[in-house]
Structure 1
Amino acid sequence: MIKKLIRRLLGQDEADAAAADAADARTPTTPTIVSADVHHIDPALISRNAVRVTDTLQQAGFRAFIVGGAVRDLLLNVAPKDFDVATDATPEQVQKLFRRARIIGRRFQIVHVQFGQDIIETSTFRALVDPAAETGSSGNGGNSGGGGQAQESASAEPPRRLKRSELDRRTHAVDASGRVLRDNVWGEQHEDATRRDFTINAMYYDPATQTVLDYHNGMADIRARTLRMIGDPATRYREDPVRMLRVVRFAAKLGFDIDPATRAPITRLADLINNVPAARLFDEMLKLLLSGHALACLQRLRAEGLHHGLLPLLDVVLEQPHGEKFVSLALTSTDDRVRAGKPVSPGFLFAALLWQQVQDRWNKHTAGGEYPIPALHRAMDEVLDTQTEKLAIQKRFVADMKEIWAMQPRLEKHSGRTALRLLEHPRFRAAFDFVMLRCESGELDAAVGAWWKDFVEGDVAAREVLLNQGSTRERGPRRRRRRGGRSGAKPGADDGAPRSHHGADADDDADASSGDAPDA
């Protein structure tokens, strides 16, 4: 009765409730044990440090397994990027066994075990907690009594938002929408498996016995290349709306089909993304964009209607053929670099995603009579202010974005000796790649990109020829003869001589530095 009341408060329909009850009844307690001659995991792909963690815990009397995405990738014969370990030891017990280990996290407490630059995330098995009961207790700030008056009070008053100090005293708490705020109740391995998101991520590998423990038919779903949510999808999305983004990322990255029941609630629950802290959304979005399948991920986001809350300014861009081409080229280039193992700048990527909006506002401000450089900086600030309301882009990436954008007018001119100084700019390569993308998309004259390509690849003599060509074209018949000669000139008058010791390109620097300076 209480569960039904809480579900009505959360806005769950009867179909959701029935699915959730059915999911609760299907919680397996015994795993299928898959031997090495069946799973064919290559031990050479396994991190030695991850094995050290599991061995140390097992020798201390605990159970310990490699878990999650690492097991999934090993089964797909792909070398995992990172390794997680799950154990029945508490965070404090894990910390005592390793010299360099620290407990981190409030919402989901884990231990970072560090070996040089390598970090093995180690978590304790989580227990299954009834989300409906927890929502009722956290909403009222305590456990409800068993009488009808308590139920009437719960239905009459909106749930109270818990303070940080109250949350810190709880091991488990959820908010009014069902999102889990704290999840630090320790349990058994089968409960931990059920708490995980997808069947393919809920398998445990024991390096000592080389066996895989499979509670939710993850092996079968890997063979069928199907992405399936454990439990009732609607409930799981309410617990953590970021799971909707993870569905998209894994489906695009692995080339898996999304199970129809897993996909069905996404469209109507997409607005729950707005409840996720902006910083956490940024982290998940970064994983998505740097997955090596960014273009496919973005296409999936649009297909599921999830892109509106993440990149609000991108909605308009993707409806414009020119803007969509530029973004597609940027994402394809990023994917190629990730797959080739080359470094990728998140600042460059977000600069490309938001460039069309910056340019549109820049053109609007200059058309209104503003000077170009101040207008550009104003456009940059407006776009970033609008974007960060939804997705908190880190300041270091924002600084990179602004520098890339601010260098575009100077790269378009490529006049005088400014080009030589631009080569020494720490963000030149990123800004140069940005110009080449603009040329490739048709936004900028291809001759601009060709000039800079020749300049970057040319030797000293070739660069001098290019500079002289640019100087001749830029200067033209600018010098004017004054009446009375130099002797009659007033101090500070324009006699055609360079305005500073920097030579002919002083005008360019003045243009570039006038108006608002980029944020430090």
Structure 2
Amino acid sequence: MIKQFLQKVFRRRVNVNTHTQLPAAQIIQAGKHKINQKHISQAALKTCDQLQKAGFQAYIVGGAVRDLLLNHPPKDFDVATNATPEQVHKVFRRSRIIGRRFRLVHVLWGHETIEVSTFRGHHLSEGDAETNDSGRIIRDNVFGSIEEDSVRRDFTANALYYDPKRQEVLDFHHGVADIRAKTLRMIGDPLKRYQEDPVRMLRAVRLSAKLGLKLERETEAPIRKLANLLEDVPPSRLFDEMLKLFLSGHAIESINALRAQQLHHGLLPLLDVVLEQPMGEKFVMLALKNTDERIQAGKSSNPSFLFATLLWHEVLLAWQENQKRGEHMIPALHEAMNEVIDKQAEKMAIHNRYTATMKEIWVMQPRFEQRSGKRPYALLTNPKYRAGYDFLLLRCASGELPQALGDWWTRFADAGTDERTAMLLPESGPKKRRRKPRKKTSVGGEAV
């Protein structure tokens, strides 16, 4: 108890001496920022309104404000407040406190969830934030003011706070000017900020590619040097960030930026190998192009399919090697799939719900080459047939398989009964004749 009391007193003293140079907000009125409130989620508006009615500050914050200023309707809305997680939980009946590294509150509105965070404070004394040997923050629940919170944000474009009631944007780090200048700038010392959270390097690459913002020189400079820090990031966090990157609608630009910053090595441990193979790179880029087009058209994209394409050529290589050692085709494929996924999991664990579907897509591929008898009909009834078929078309388009194979399946799927029967290929190999049982006769009671 005495130790906790002394820590609180110490923090208060440091607060008095340290918080004299916090940034002041530039208040930007509706006439200048021109945010269209019709693009704001009703759930986010109601969350801010109820927190403000309860006597707290509440702002839509971060990427949503950035996207609104760029006239991009945001997909997600986050709210920041001076209420503690427990206080937020009391305001909203349908809410839950989550997280250990950062304690947050998820406020539930029908099918929509608004993530509410308490303003973060500075790391002022030992015990405020836990870090590992490389400086990465592993636990941090220090609460503070909105000014302190703005310093804790990663990029100036994300340190923007929008008050829906007053329709004002609070800009603490000239983020609006940077957005208009198409610049992505780190708040504070980039070297230190990347050490605190190496995932910020991936986020910098993703946002610059997605939003068409150029990385400011000092923000970009340390990235290559610190790339190895990503090895210390928990696999689950790494996977989530990579998923955002590949499903941003700008995956090709993101891949090119990853390569330019030398960040792709070790993330998908096999991706750099794939990209060095002419056919592998063509296959991957076709998959990413298709994914980008679907997302930009407002369609969904299955992460399982995407990761299946990224790792396919390593599976293919391992499969071929296993068959050379004398293993039968299907067992060799299963062994190759497990081998590649296990190797991948060492650096970036792909969730089991995705790997199961990836394996289903892969294991269907040899079945597409079987076009005789009842096998094609059975394949059409497979629940994952469409994903497997799309995967086959990518293999044909990249030159891995003859285009005629993909065309055959496209025609077969749409054909009528008679046409399908005519399309079937003859059974391969000589047809085995059934051996008739020898007729038994008896001579004098003896079988002959």
Normalising by structure 2, we get a TM-score of 0.91
Q: Report matched runs for 1:33-432 at 5 Å.
A: 33-130=27-124, 137=126, 171-432=128-389
CA contact (8 A) 1:126 1:185 kept: yes
- Check if 1:479 corresponds to 2:436: no
Inter-partner Cα distance in structure 1 for 2:204 and 2:88: 31
Gaps of 5+ in 1: 1-23, 138-169, 491-520
Q: Deviations over 1:249-283 (max 9, x none)?
A: 00110011000100000011000001110011111
> What is the deviation of 1:320?
1.1
> What is the deviation of 1:124?
0.5
Secondary structure of the 1:177 match is coil
> What is the deviation of 1:108?
0.5
- Check if 1:439 corresponds to 2:433: no
Secondary structure of the 1:178 match is coil
Inter-partner Cα distance in structure 1 for 2:274 and 2:211: 27
> What is the deviation of 1:206?
0.4
Instruction: Tell me the matched-pair count.
Output: 423
> What is the deviation of 1:475?
4.0
Q: Return closer, same or farther for 1:210/1:418 CA change in 2, 3 Å cut-off.
A: same
- Residue 58 of structure 2 aligns with an amino acid whose one-letter code is A
Secondary structure of the 1:442 match is coil
Inter-partner Cα distance in structure 2 for 1:416 and 1:26: 80
Secondary structure of the 1:85 match is strand
- Residue 486 of structure 1 aligns with an amino acid whose one-letter code is K
Q: Which moved more, 1:66-75 or 1:295-304?
A: 295-304
> What is the deviation of 1:113?
0.2
CA contact (8 A) 1:63 1:88 kept: yes
- Check if 1:488 corresponds to 2:418: no
Secondary structure of the 1:404 match is helix
Q: Deviations over 1:136-191 (max 9, x none)?
A: x4xxxxxxxxxxxxxxxxxxxxxxxxxxxxxxxx5521112111111111101011
CA contact (8 A) 2:304 2:355 kept: yes
> What is the deviation of 1:117?
1.1
- Residue 183 of structure 2 aligns with an amino acid whose one-letter code is T
Inter-partner Cα distance in structure 2 for 1:330 and 1:435: 11
Gaps of 5+ in 2: 1-17, 441-448
> What is the deviation of 1:25?
10
CA contact (8 A) 2:23 2:173 kept: no
CA contact (8 A) 1:68 1:203 kept: yes
Inter-partner Cα distance in structure 2 for 1:59 and 1:480: 82
Q: Return closer, same or farther for 1:451/1:61 CA change in 2, 3 Å cut-off.
A: same
In the alignment, what sits opposite 1:8?
Answer: none
- Residue 291 of structure 2 aligns with an amino acid whose one-letter code is T
Inter-partner Cα distance in structure 2 for 1:480 and 1:270: 61
Q: Return closer, same or farther for 1:180/1:27 CA change in 2, 3 Å cut-off.
A: farther
Q: Report matched runs for 1:492-511 at 5 Å.
A: none
CA contact (8 A) 1:27 1:194 kept: no
Inter-partner Cα distance in structure 2 for 1:90 and 1:460: 66
> What is the deviation of 1:369?
1.4
Inter-partner Cα distance in structure 2 for 1:327 and 1:319: 11
Inter-partner Cα distance in structure 2 for 1:215 and 1:387: 41
> What is the deviation of 1:426?
1.3
Secondary structure of the 1:120 match is strand
Secondary structure of the 1:112 match is strand
Secondary structure of the 2:107 match is strand
Provide the aligned C-alpha RMSD in A. Answer: 1.7
In the alignment, what sits opposite 1:516?
Answer: none
CA contact (8 A) 1:28 1:215 kept: no
> What is the deviation of 1:416?
1.6
Secondary structure of the 2:270 match is helix
> What is the deviation of 1:459?
2.9
Inter-partner Cα distance in structure 1 for 2:372 and 2:259: 42
- Residue 265 of structure 1 aligns with an amino acid whose one-letter code is P
- Residue 397 of structure 1 aligns with an amino acid whose one-letter code is Y
Inter-partner Cα distance in structure 1 for 2:439 and 2:365: 37
> What is the deviation of 1:457?
2.2
Q: Deviations over 1:74-101 (max 9, x none)?
A: 0011110010000001110000011101
CA contact (8 A) 2:89 2:105 kept: yes
- Residue 32 of structure 2 aligns with an amino acid whose one-letter code is V
Q: Deviations over 1:14-50 (max 9, x none)?
A: xxxxxxxxxx999543100001110010010011110
Normalising by structure 1, we get a TM-score of 0.79
Secondary structure of the 2:45 match is helix
Secondary structure of the 1:103 match is strand
